[in-house]
Structure 1
Amino acid sequence: MATITLIPLLGTLLLIYSLHKLWTFFYNAFLHPVAKFPGPPYVWTDWYQCYNDVYLSRNWTDVLKELHEKYGDVVRVGANELHFSRPSVYNEIYSPSRRWDKDATLYRVFNQDESSFGFPTYREAKARKDILAPLFSHRATCEMQGVVKNHLDRLCTALRKRHAAGQSSDMLFALRSFSLDCITTYCFAQDVHASEAEEFRHPIVEAMDAAVPAVRVLQYFEPLRKVVFGMPPWLGKLTDPNTGARVALQEMLLKQVKEYVQNPKSMHETSTPTIYHRLLDPELNRETGGVPSLKSLRDEALSLFFGGAESSGNVSMLGTWHILQTPAIETRLREELRQAWSDLATMPQLEDLEKLPYLTAIIKESLRISPSVPVPLPRVVPPQGTTLSGQQIPGGTVVGMSLRFVHESEEIFHDAKTFDPERWLQPDAAAASLEKWLVAFSKGPRNCIGQNLAMCELYMAFAALFRRFEVVLDGTRAEDLSWTEGFLPFFNPRHMRAFCRPVEA
């Protein structure tokens, strides 16, 4: 009897669900506030990007370029999402005066929603960044540059050993290992000795690399994301070696957090300041209602860890590749470094490296040519709406723009596909006009908090590679540096290999 009664009820529920879906599709297609903007068919289902990302395995930014060629400067790319192509709009969306919230759809995939990176609201993120910012100021970075130098020496020792053994090095993993060692020491007073790992294949480096492709799947399937991040640590370690390394990293950071929370005096035993010296300071956290929760401390640690360990390695690897493609660029860089760094045993201070015009131009061009974070960083237009690209945008609309539309713009960067440090050495006015279009660390109140540390790593890595070594490619071709998008780029597994022969003077 109960079964007979249940069948009509299920049928009714199914009908209601189907009607709701049909109404949603109809509303999104014809009545939604952004329906007036042009876009591809079926974009109103919110599965258009998933189809291209997951099923077709296409880079979303490549799809966006095609859409803008077909539909114009403003394109509807989701049920409630617009993308823009005019470079000027980038500085409008991510302007320091735009205190817009992040759209949580993308950022929740990282399971770091209680961090300066993951907080969706401007208010929460600003409060956290204000606490951490002094640790990442240019002054603080200069004071801590000894940490970076020590890890750079370790990397150079590993490169010399491999050359002495007749072995080339995977430069992507080598440079990421250097960055990983820097961020763990700088932020957590921990040392994982990644640069000493065999073939630079430290488990954490490999786990971080393997995590990038997963982003393009997990962001579309919420139940799967919850299963992955809700998995007990012991099960995560069993399912996949890379997952195990990532879990081990989280456990290491959580153990450190718990130790400092339970015994604050132990923080005084660290060799360098850590993020916890500030996050666990009651006075600094007075306006935020007290020190962060254990989860928030762990989230912050993970966001800084993953944010700081990959990007600068990617940039220095790609920059090195491009330098080696043009002998005139390499020769000029070596000459400048030789003049500024005459005694190989004594590396110049960061402040002195920053004054070298050609090295600085090399770094800027490497940042421009690198994909950095290629995907659009979504922001939510406030309720009153706004004007972008000359059009009124309804409140609540998700808007974004990939930095590739800025860095690859022929209007701004002539012959944008070419690696050309000279573009940054023009007369002051012309060079200054380009500066605002270098957006590798994003712009505005949600820009990268660790950019000063990243720049320190880039100055020292480029200086050391081209002053201490003769770098010779080991069969690497341009196609070996191809990449696909996660949140960060995922490079061809071959990467870039090179022999690093030490120079004598």
Structure 2
Amino acid sequence: MQTPEHGAVAGLLSTVLVTIIAYVAYKVIYNIYFHPLANFKGPLLARTTGLWKAYVECVAQRSFCHVLVELHAKYGDVVRVEPNELHFANPKAYHDIYNNKNRWDKEARLYKSFNEDRSSFGFLTYAEAKNRKDVLNRSFSQAAIDGAESLVVDKTKALCAAFERQSKAAKSADLFFAFRAMTMDVIMTFCFGKPIHAVDAPDFKAPILVAMDASLPIFVRFKYSDLYKNMILKCPPKLSKIISPSTAGLVDLQQLLLHQIRDLTDDPDKLKNLPHNLTIYHRLMDAEAYRNKTVPSAGSLYEEAQALMFGGADTVGNTLMVGTFHLLKQPDKLQKLKRELSAAWPSLNGNEPKLRDLENLPYLNAVIKESLRVASGVVSGLLRVVPSPGAKIDGVAVPPGAIVSCGSTFVHYNADLFPEPDRFIPERWLESSDLDNWLVAFSRGPRMCLGINLAWAELRLGFAHVFRKFDPVLADPVPDGLPFRGVFLPCFYGTHLKVNMQPVTA
């Protein structure tokens, strides 16, 4: 027998259920027919709910930057990928969104997922980011990098010495880890004054690099941690290895940085104990560099360090690996590069070329540009919020408040700009300087990569020393390609590139 209390509870539950259904129906109808972006095409579920993108990445486990290629082929140059988000395929849109005139905010959900909210990378507004970058630019200016050339050279030589040890032991080198080991050593020494000698780890598998490789796909979990938490918890068991890997090495390095930061903030005089005065701490802890004479908190210093650590190691490491892969698959281009390097560096026992000398080697620079194009850097769209009163992107009127992006791969693999975009053709950069406008591996505009000058120094020295000092030969198993899944940065999941590094004698 039903009591009045039971009847009241049942009535309340019915009312709640009806309210939820009504609200969901309202949101669906509004998003499809009345939303400011209602006229833009896209998959029905994408126009209905942001859960569709979570399904693609978390349940279907598809790379969204590759799914976008299919969507644009079906719906055209502008695709609605969430109720309030548009992605543009035309390269012109890239410069319309990311340029020095725009002061557009970064989109909160994406950038807060990195847990680097108090860093130059994570600040959502232009004003916050500019204040921080103005301070850090002293460490990453061209003059600062010129002054740190010997540091980058030392780390590059340490990599070459490790390659020689591998060769003497008749072991192939895993370039996925080897190049990252070098770039991690550069970042840790240059930015933090804390060398970790990753290139000396057995087979280049320093714990931090193994952990970073395992943890990169966790970004999918963090990205949807609030709105899509329940959905991710229901992901199939096969995803568990992706979203819960062992990250002991990463935790160890994080603890090292936290300990260093605590020491410095407790006693700033310890800055004098660091091996050089170009570290980010020398800049960020200088109160005179700030308008309010207040240095960042220890938490902010840590988040800045984390952003630089991840961003600095992966992009350059990927570019060196991808460029090497394509050169080894095309011996004519490899030999062309080696001839240019030999002409500039006739004897390994003689004077080494300086960075300024390498900047004047046209084919070396063409190889680097083509490697950057193919590797692309960040492969996900860098989400921006259109300010009032709206904007025109690629000639299309976009209302204020809309989230927009154009992925770098849609610029770098555009067949009109780069004929045969899937082919590695360094010569294309020698034929037209106009192409430089379309190299966006470090992004463009006021939020572009802070470390671009350091990255170019690493790339020039890395390619020059490795290909002048060694005759690399592909080792078995030879990968057919270097497939990746887009998780903001590319996450390479295929056979690693392994090479026998045969030292050159002259």
TM-score between both structures, scaled by the size of structure 2 = 0.93
Alpha-carbon displacement from aligned partner over 1:194-228 (angstroms, at most 9, x marks no partner): 000011111100111111111123312328889x9
Contact 1:108-1:118 within 8 A present in 2 as well: yes
Superposed, 1:34-183 pairs within 5 Å as: 34-43=37-46, 44-183=48-187
In the other structure, the counterpart of 2:417 is 412
Distance in 2 (alpha carbons) for counterparts of 1:414 and 1:269: 53
Alignment correspondent of 1:501? 502
Shift of 1:6: 5.5
Equivalent residue runs for 1:206-245 within 5 Å: 206-222=210-226, 242-245=246-249
The equivalent of 2:468 in structure 1 is 467
What 5-or-longer segments of structure 1 have no aligned partner? 229-238
User: Structure 1 225/282 Cα, relative in aligned 2: closer, same or farther at 3 Å?
Assistant: farther
CA RMSD of aligned residues (A): 2.0
The equivalent position to 2:36 in structure 1, one of 24, 33, 39, is 33
**Paired residue for 1:438?**
439
Give the SS at the match of 1:96.
coil
Task: Pick closer, same or farther for the CA change 1:476–1:97 going to 2, 3 Å.
Answer: farther
- How has the CA–CA distance of structure 1 residues 3 and 440 changed in structure 2, closer, same or farther, with 3 Å as cutoff? farther
Partners of 1:66 and 1:364 lie apart in 2 by 27
Amino acid at match of 2:41: P
8 Å contact from structure 2 (residues 164, 503) kept in 1: yes
Contact 1:206/1:242 (<8 A) preserved: no
Letter in 1 for 2:64: W
1:147-172 deviation line (CA, Å, top 9, x unaligned):
11111111111111111111001011
2:366–2:426 CA contact under 8 A, matched in 1: yes
State how far apart, in whole Å, the 2-side matches of 1:476 and 1:123 are: 50
Counterpart Cα distance in 2 of 1:7 and 1:113: 45
Separation of aligned partners in 1, 2:146 and 2:307: 23
Q: Structure 1 residue aligned with 2:352, among 347, 354, 366?
A: 347
1:134 and 1:52 map into 2 onto residues whose CA distance is 42
Check 1:259–1:223 CA distance in 2 against 1; reply closer, same or farther (3 A cut): farther
Shift of 1:20: 2.4
Distance 1:328 1:67 in 2: 37
1:389 to 381, 387, 394: 394
- The 5 Å alignment of 1:481-500 reads 481-500=482-501
Paired with 2:94 and 2:477, the residues of 1 have a C-alpha distance of 34
In structure 2, relative to structure 1, the CA distance for the partners of 1:100 and 1:335 (3 Å cut) is same
Within 2, Cα distance between the matches of 1:314 and 1:336? 23
Change (3 A) 1:222 1:243: farther
8 Å CA contact 1:407–1:437 kept in 2: the answer is yes
Q: What amino acid does structure 2 have at the position aligned with 1:482?
A: P
The alpha-carbon deviation at position 453 of structure 1 amounts to 0.7
- Would you say the 8 A contact 2:478–2:498 is kept in 1? no
Write the letter of the residue equivalent to 1:272. H
Instruction: Kindly indicate whether the alpha-carbon contact (under 8 Å) linking 2:215 and 2:245 is maintained by their aligned counterparts in 1.
Output: no
SS class of match (1:296): helix
Q: For structure 1, which segment, 376-385 or 277-286, has the greater mean C-alpha deviation from structure 2 after superposition?
A: 277-286
Q: For 2:176, what is the secondary structure of its paired residue?
A: helix
* Deviation of 1:324 (Å): 1.2
Structure 1 residue 3 displacement after superposition: 7.0
How far does the alpha carbon of each residue in 1:284-331 deviate from its partner, in whole angstroms, 9 at most, with x for none?
A: 1224x6211221111101001111011101001110111112222111
Is the alpha carbon distance of 1:3 and 1:138 closer, same or farther for their aligned partners in structure 2, counting shifts above 3 Å?
A: farther
Mapped to 1, the partners of 2:229 and 2:294 lie a distance apart of 30
1:60-80 deviation digits (Å, cap 9, x = unpaired):
122111111111111111110
Structure 2 counterpart of 1:32, which letter?
A: H
Asked if structure 2 preserves the Cα contact closer than 8 Å seen for 1:319 and 1:363, the reply is yes
Distance (Å, rounded) in 1 between the aligned partners of 2:486 and 2:204: 23
Structure 1 247/218 Cα, relative in aligned 2: closer, same or farther at 3 Å? Answer: same
Shift in alpha-carbon separation, 1:394–1:240, aligned structure 2, 3 A: closer
The answer as to whether partners of 1:73 and 1:389 remain within 8 angstroms in 2 is: no
Counterpart pick for 2:368 among 360, 363, 366: 363
- Aligned equivalents of 2:123, 2:245: Cα separation in 1: 30
The match for 2:283 is 278
- Aligned counterparts of 2:18 and 2:267: Cα–Cα separation in 1: 58
Measured in 2, the distance between the counterparts of 1:3 and 1:129 equals 62
In 2: Cα distance, 1:92 partner to 1:136 partner: 26
Alpha-carbon distance change, 242 to 147 in structure 1, aligned in 2, over 3 angstroms: farther
1:42 partner letter: L
> Which residue of structure 2 lines up, in the alignment, with residue 235 of structure 1?
none
The runs of at least 4 aligned residues of structure 1 exceeding 6 Å deviation read 223-226
CA shift in 2, pair 1:468/1:385, >3 Å:
same
For the Cα contact (< 8 Å) 1:338–1:467, is it kept in 2?
Answer: yes
Deviation at 1:276, TM superposition (A): 0.9
Structure 2 residue 264 is the aligned partner of structure 1 residue 264? no
Shift of 1:14: 4.1
Structure 1: distance between partners of 2:388 and 2:34: 18
Deviation at 1:425, TM superposition (A): 1.1
Partner of 2:406: 401
Q: Deviations over 1:419-466 (max 9, x none)?
A: 11111112xxx32x1110000000001100011111111101101111
Alignment CA distance shift 1:337-1:397 (3 Å): same
- Distance in 2, Cα, partners of 1:397 & 1:487: 20
Letter in 2 for 1:497: K
Q: Distance in 1 between matches of 2:173 and 2:252?
A: 26
In the other structure, the counterpart of 1:248 is 252
TM, length-normalised to structure 1: 0.93
Matched residues in 2 for 1:51 and 1:195: separation?
39
